[in-house]
Structure 1
Amino acid sequence: MILEVEKEEEKTVGGIVLAGGAKEKPQTAKVVAVGTGRILDDGKKLEMTLKVGDVVVFDKYAGAQVEFEGQEYLVMHEKDILAVVE
């Protein structure tokens, strides 16, 4: 699945501008694309439970960051999602 990373403020509460490497990876994002599911060991197909538009919470070390047309995205497996925000 592909998640769209929300742009975050680059300043601290005290007004200090953070260097690029000082910011932590965001832990919430919006689902912008999903696959068709995966095939289990017994040959059955497990459908995706998430859908486009869901806002999700994930571990900060999950997924791979990619940039496309100036926007940051994360590519990850559904099993890496911790929760769906409603």
Structure 2
Amino acid sequence: HLSCNPQAAQEWAANQKLSCDPRLLFFGRMLRKSSLDELPQLFNILRGDMSCVGPRPVVADELQRYGAASHEYLKTRPGLTGLW
């Protein structure tokens, strides 16, 4: 999709997200709208791996975007929602 659609490739390069992601099916859109896709995160909170409020977990490739502050980010337990 990205190789055939330069605008989508540019959006992906900037945000690592697509506003109209063709991989997302009807069921997935419904899960996201209802926030049920966050349910597994609740189990991580109950296990103590995550907190309710804190920075969202990121993959290693995204961590480079934090630059010199990445070590500060890693000291904090990830959360289900941010401070907002």
TM range (shorter): under 0.3
Structure 1 or 2: more strand by fraction = 1
TM-score calculated relative to the size of structure 2: 0.24
Structure 1 or 2: more helix by fraction = 2
